[in-house]
Amino acid sequence: MNKLSKTEIFWKSYLSTLSEVDQMNTSAYVVSQFANTPEAATSVGILVRDGVKTTTSTLLWGLEHIGEPLPKVGMIELIVDGNGDPLCITELIEVEIKPFNAVDEQFAFEYGEGDRTLAFWLSDNWDFLSHECVEIGREPNKTMPIVFQRFRVLYPKNNAH
């Protein structure tokens, strides 16, 4: 079974949980993966699937550099692990562009990684985003524009939360 068929089967399984009306209104999704290595994609994807991680962030300059549009509220993503196997389906519920240094403790906690503190978020993201800035010819700074995003897991439902 190839990866495409696994995601299609997973998507159809999700659709089968919806009413006919909701199925007709839910046709588009994007296959996405967190992190930049297969191992990290799997571990972070599991945090998302399990409801631990409900926020993420992206460097606005990075999106502009590759010509990718801003994420939009209502966007549906099928999250895959480092092997491309489906983990969960999420819906983007909030998008806000703010300076890097405007992140707060609640967002950092909901980021779900490391020890879930603001100090961890600042350090981890500074390292990652600074490297990205250098790659695209931008100078990292504390007020660089970040796309802060909140999402919720639609499928599978996690009964533990």
Distance between CA atoms of residues 50 and 80, nearest Å? 13
Could you read off the pLDDT of 35-65 as tens digits, one per residue?
889 999 999 999 999 999 999 999 999 999 9
Could you read off the pLDDT of 14-31 as tens digits, one per residue?
988 887 877 667 768 899
What pLDDT shows up at residue 59?
98
Pairing, β 145-155 against β 86-99 = antiparallel
Could you read off the pLDDT of 73-87 as tens digits, one per residue?
999 999 999 999 999
Closest CA to 4 of 91, 86, 120: 86
Query: How large is the greatest C-alpha to C-alpha distance in the chain, in angstroms?
Result: 50
Which CATH number fits the domain 3-152, given the four candidates 3.50.50.60, 1.10.1610.10, 3.10.400.10, 3.40.50.720? 3.10.400.10
Backbone φ and ψ of 132, nearest 5°: -60, -40
